[in-house]
Structure 1
Amino acid sequence: MSGMVVCIDLGGTKALCGIAKQGYIANVKRYPVPASSTKQEVTDYVIELVRKTITTECIGIAIGIPGVVNSATGEVFEVTNIPAWRDVPLSKILCERFNVPVLVHNDVNCFTYGEYRYGEHGGNLTPCKNILGVCLGTGLGAGVVIDKQLYTGRYGLAGEFGSAPYLGKTIEDYCSGQFFKQRGTDGELEYLSAKAGNVQSLKLFEQLGTHLGIAFAHMQLAYDPDVIVMGGSVTQAFDLFGERMFASFTQYEQCKQLNIRVSQLPHAALLGAFALFEQKYKVVSPELDCI
């Protein structure tokens, strides 16, 4: 593959944009996301992100979306944290606007595939064949690589553990930023408070760890991966919930040997978007048809 690819990791609050070539990301910039804007305003915003990033050397666009997408057609069905952005033929819009091929995928799938292709996998030089990537941020999402291939399922829902029922709500309500929000507080504020030694804040993170351990046990039983790799803003507080998470997880006999770790790969989602673009368009040239 030759040429550069515009890569975008779109989140509910921020977007990261960069240019990738041969597995390297450069010129990464961060922008706020107008999550409460109208459908057209969000679409125009994404077009503007590409316009700010693309150069004459770029031969494609790869974008990760925090919601349900059809990766075959590049259509965005819905994004929970950007409510108005539904039923958007994003690949078609960007392809017609910039005249280059476009890949649209789920952001956690991008993160997981980036970890598979470029992560260390707990120190192994040879990539693990089976990986579960879990992003803990505003919500909880997971991506699945089975036998070296990204697995998305029939409707692209594989790994959507955050929506699974749990204690009268969902796993996401107990294992992401929603855990703090539903208690009338903010994860970042509680993190700073816990770091300062506040007992109540420390207990909140211990509770989060307990719930995460149970959630990971369910993921282990569903997919039995070689490794679970965590990413997302919540993992910055790993030292506050990690011990309790492992204690909760390893109470189950079948979960004692699994390797769970925090991602150390910068911009894993951007790298994964690039790798998925590279995989889809095996031979890339400026004349490649838009899809």
Structure 2
Amino acid sequence: MTGKIVCIDLGGTKALCGLANQGAVANVKRYPVPSSASKNEMTDYIIDLIDKTVTDECVGIAIGIPGVVDSDTGYIFEVTNIPNWRNINLTGILGARFKVPVMVHNDVNCFAYGEYKYGAHFDNGLPCQTILGVCLGTGLGAGVVISGRLYEGRHGLAGEFGSAPYLNNTLEDYCSGQFFRNLGTDGAKEYELALAGDQRALRLFEQLGSHLGVAIAHMQLAYDPDVIVLGGSVSNAYHLFEAAMHARFAQFEQCEHLKICISSLPHAALVGACELFYQRYRIELTNLQSA
């Protein structure tokens, strides 16, 4: 397939937008997300990102969003931390605007599939076929690749561990940036304090790791993957919570041989979105380009 895909990795606070093609991504730029925008303003924001990125070489658009989406139709039901942007046929809107095929998917599914296709994950010398891509950022979510195929579940909810009940709330409230916000602080601020040796901040990351160990154990027991790959902004502090996380899930005997690593693949969600777009439209675009 020739031509480039405009790819967007939309988060709760930031968006990455660039041009991707078969594992390569270029012209990636970061933009703040107007999370309190109205429904129409948020849609206009996405259109503006595409306008800033699209070129004559582009043959499609692929977007990963942090929420519940019907990947077959591109209909968005709800988006984490962008409360007004819901119940919208984004594929239809963007397809009519830009006259190219459009794919809208869950952002963590894009991340997981990008890791499967281009991440260096091996088991006994062979490429891993069953991978969980777990994003620790504004929220908590996982993408599931089983035997080389993305698994979404009947309603596209596979991997949505963040919504699972835990203690007095949900796993997401204890295993993501939400953990710090619920305490009236900010994860980035606490990270800097922890690096400077602040004992309170260090204890907070240990607590985060202990909670995350429970979440990881549930993921392992649910899918028994070859490897769990962590990404998202909170994973940058892995060295601060790794020991506490391992100590917690080590209490579960079934997790004894669990492999966990941090993503080292640049823009995994963007290349994953591109690959999922190829899966959806490969035959259609091949016929279009040969006509």
Q: TM-score range with shorter-chain normalisation?
A: over 0.9
CA drift at 1:56: 0.5
Amino acid at match of 2:273: A
CA drift at 1:168: 1.8
Determine the C-alpha separation between the residues in 2 that align with 1:8 and 1:198. Answer: 37
Matching of residues 71-86 of structure 1 within 5 Å? 71-86=71-86
CA drift at 1:286: 8.4
Amino acid at match of 1:231: G
Amino acid at match of 1:245: M
Amino acid at match of 2:197: G
Determine the C-alpha separation between the residues in 2 that align with 1:238 and 1:32. Answer: 24
CA drift at 1:111: 0.2
Q: Give 1:162's aligned residue.
A: 162
For the pair 1:236 / 2:239, whether they are aligned, the reply is no
Whether the 8 Å CA contact 2:5–2:20 is kept in 1: the answer is yes
CA drift at 1:80: 2.3
Q: Give 1:51's aligned residue.
A: 51
Determine the C-alpha separation between the residues in 2 that align with 1:64 and 1:101. Answer: 15
Task: Identify if the C-alpha distance between structure 1 residues 127 and 251 changes in structure 2 by more than 3 Å, giving closer, same or farther.
Answer: same
Q: Give 1:201's aligned residue.
A: 201
Aligned-residue Cα RMSD (Å) equals 1.5
Q: Deviations over 1:44-71 (max 9, x none)?
A: 0101111110101100000000110000
Q: Give 1:92's aligned residue.
A: 92
Amino acid at match of 1:211: H
CA drift at 1:238: 0.6
Determine the C-alpha separation between the residues in 1 that align with 2:60 and 2:127. Answer: 26
Whether the 8 Å CA contact 1:2–1:284 is kept in 2: the answer is no
Q: Give 2:107's aligned residue.
A: 107
Determine the C-alpha separation between the residues in 1 that align with 2:40 and 2:20. Answer: 27
Query: Taking structure 1 as the reference length, what is the TM-score of the superposition?
Result: 0.96
Whether the 8 Å CA contact 1:101–1:288 is kept in 2: the answer is no
Q: Give 1:2's aligned residue.
A: 2
Task: Identify if the C-alpha distance between structure 1 residues 124 and 106 changes in structure 2 by more than 3 Å, giving closer, same or farther.
Answer: farther
CA drift at 1:214: 1.1
Amino acid at match of 2:261: R
CA drift at 1:287: 7.4
Task: Identify if the C-alpha distance between structure 1 residues 24 and 126 changes in structure 2 by more than 3 Å, giving closer, same or farther.
Answer: farther
Whether the 8 Å CA contact 1:122–1:259 is kept in 2: the answer is no
Q: Give 2:138's aligned residue.
A: 138
Determine the C-alpha separation between the residues in 2 that align with 1:27 and 1:124. Answer: 36
Amino acid at match of 1:146: I
Determine the C-alpha separation between the residues in 2 that align with 1:22 and 1:208. Answer: 36
Whether the 8 Å CA contact 1:230–1:263 is kept in 2: the answer is yes
Higher share in helix: 2
Determine the C-alpha separation between the residues in 2 that align with 1:80 and 1:23. Answer: 27
What is the percentage of aligned positions where both structures have the same residue?
Answer: 67
Q: Deviations over 1:63-112 (max 9, x none)?
A: 00011000000111111211100111100111110000001000000000
In structure 2, stretches of 5+ residues that fail to align are none
Q: Give 1:176's aligned residue.
A: 176
| Number of residues of Structure 1 aligned to a counterpart in Structure 2 | 289
Q: Secondary structure at the match of 1:142?
A: strand
Q: Give 2:68's aligned residue.
A: 68
Quick check: 278-287 or 38-47, which moved more?
278-287
CA drift at 1:285: 3.2
